[in-house]
Amino acid sequence: MSLAIDILTLFPRMLDGFLAESILGKGIGAGHLQVNVHDLRTWSTDKHRTADDRPFGGGAGMVMKPEPVFAAIEQLQRPGCRRIYLTPDGTPLSPGLAQELAVQSHLIFLSGHYEGIDQRIRDTIIDQEISIGDYVLTNGTLAAAVVIDALARFIPGVLGEEKSLTHESFTSKLLDFPQYTRPAEFRGMSVPEVLLSGNHAEIEKWRHARQVEKTRLVRPDLLK
């Protein structure tokens, strides 16, 4: 069973390159996941294709209207679907959350815009709210892309080598060790001797020590 994803956004073209390129593009091509991007204005009912309006109670900015969002989700949702709203005040994205999303059968991502969306959307047809970090983007479309990229790597077959999953940062709670490739000497900088030694036990030991060193320096919180 492969994962189907629908993305609802006012800026669908922001995702063109993202979906076509790289490992994700290949995963879609190979049928490991299916991603459909929808312009929310498709579900606007007035002739100006409005999707936002002024906030009740006053204040700056515009608020996304409930009608197009309800209509879109009601049309797209299938039984067992998880409906996700991207927002800086949501649950922080983590590897565990990405892994949990990767085993679902159907996800709908709603990208918010302007100063927010009508609260009735969040109260009734959203199952989960996710933030990709403590900063505010102009809209949630890139945040949806980040969540999809992070979860796609947990779908079997998307990453060529299973090994690249187990060895990397955050699966082990340690940051990555440094990598080198040929040439062994470049502009006077040499690759650490141990990596050229062929001694796998020593290489593992060296890599682990570098991971601990880097984590202590950059992310001491991960060692607690």
Give contact residues for ligand ADE (rule: CB under 6 A).
86-88, 112, 131-133, 135-137, 140, 143
Q: Is the peptide bond before 156 cis (omega within 30 degrees of 0)?
A: no
Which of residues 134 and 161 has its CB atom nearest to ligand ADE in the complex?
134
Minimum distance, C-beta of residue 192 to ligand ADE, in the bound complex (Å): 38
Which of residues 68 and 140 has its CB atom nearest to ligand ADE in the complex?
140
Minimum distance, C-beta of residue 140 to ligand ADE, in the bound complex (Å): 4
Which of residues 9 and 44 has its CB atom nearest to ligand ADE in the complex?
9
d(CA 224, CA 182): 36
Q: How many CB atoms lie within 10 A of CB 72?
A: 22
d(CA 195, CA 201): 11
Which of residues 17 and 133 has its CB atom nearest to ligand ADE in the complex?
133
Those residues whose C-beta lies under 8 Å from the C-beta of residue 66, and which sit 6 or more positions away, are 118, 120, 121
Minimum distance, C-beta of residue 144 to ligand ADE, in the bound complex (Å): 8
Identify any residues that bridge with 128 across adjacent strands, giving them in sequence order.
84
